[in-house]
A and B are shown apart, each in its own frame.
Chain A
């Protein structure tokens, strides 16, 4: 249940913010720091499970995704990752870092037109994070960062499916503005910790580490050195593929 504390021995820390807010940079820095402190850490990212990857890709390519199927596909991806990437490490007493969480859906899908009440109820199976950081930047700043660093915007990324503008960049700006508004509404609703994403990277990271450090005061689990391998919590039973 999304409204209650999860009660597992691990900690769930998530970052949110619009595209170009710097949240991914910050959570990766946090990851390095926690690892260096010998905490057992696991990292998971929005829209990354194998299950629906090819479906999402095909839907985006064929432009057949609607606001509702877009939302449901991301929800499916999230459910799959919750079960295999978020809950097991939390139960095992690890720190789980998530780049984007359900708030991304609450902001983006609602900006796309789905009902805010529906998407919130549908995500009720999610668990409440221990710390949720929201990196806030003015829309122009985020948009500028993305546009200067990326060769071409994609159709759905720019919100072209909404028919806001005929030009990709123009549509992207309007869409990001709408998303930003939705995020702002959630700060109070979900007690998001607001970080000013226009400050220096170092200053933001220092602020983040102070808050996380406090939250981990009584957290004793330390990592031991096993074989250096990727962390996995489940293995699929498969036959070896023929060459």
Chain B
């Protein structure tokens, strides 16, 4: 048990990075536009992040397992650690990055190190979401932007009530975003530890028992909450204020689009529904909330004529999307070598 918790620490570190990095995507714009206080937003997002992770977080884990079933505890530790370090490096340089990409880079590093073939279909699926996620988010944001603009134009609601509605909307969306992040992204954090999980199920009174996997997801979520409170304010400065000068309404549309995209990519029900309608399904894949936010911001920026977007900053963020998986891959490969040859740990069970 102690050994498991020790190795899980890198997963929790990655969880912390998720909270520190991705919380800014959920409520960064709301806090940046001074519509919500940081503490209020952080508390709401944290509560729903835990709920999303525990009750809906396992759908996306299957996809990651299909990519590479990291099947020993030291290997899971190393993959997680290399991903977390990659994220931290990018975060330190002020670039909001994607945990999903880091963990994918880490897992492929494990595959390559062990001469194990990577499931190209799953990898293609995941890489496709890296392209489609910002595009879908942008399309949703543009749709919402046009609708809200038309609605405001016709309804002639007083500016004070608009402000109130946006505030309420932001609180609800922060909750939805927190849930979506927990549901979609927690697999990135603790997914690699599922196979080697030794945690016991947890009884919550007489009503509900959390399975051992749910307990694992709960621990990851708690780590993410710590990240939200301890470090996310710095990341908010990147996304919330710098990329585009937002009005609060636009800020709300951005976080709503982002949350909806994360929900779309976490729901198995939706995937089954789309398949039954003979439509291309949206797989339950951990996507990047950062990409979703950037997609939404660029979408709205383009509709507004493209003048307000700071392209140089966008370019920096996008370059981070390429750098993150590559750094995580390299770190994973090197650290696995050390783990196997210096610390004499088993990193692959045939």
Does chain A bind chain B?
Answer: no
Interface residues of B (CB under 8 A from A): none
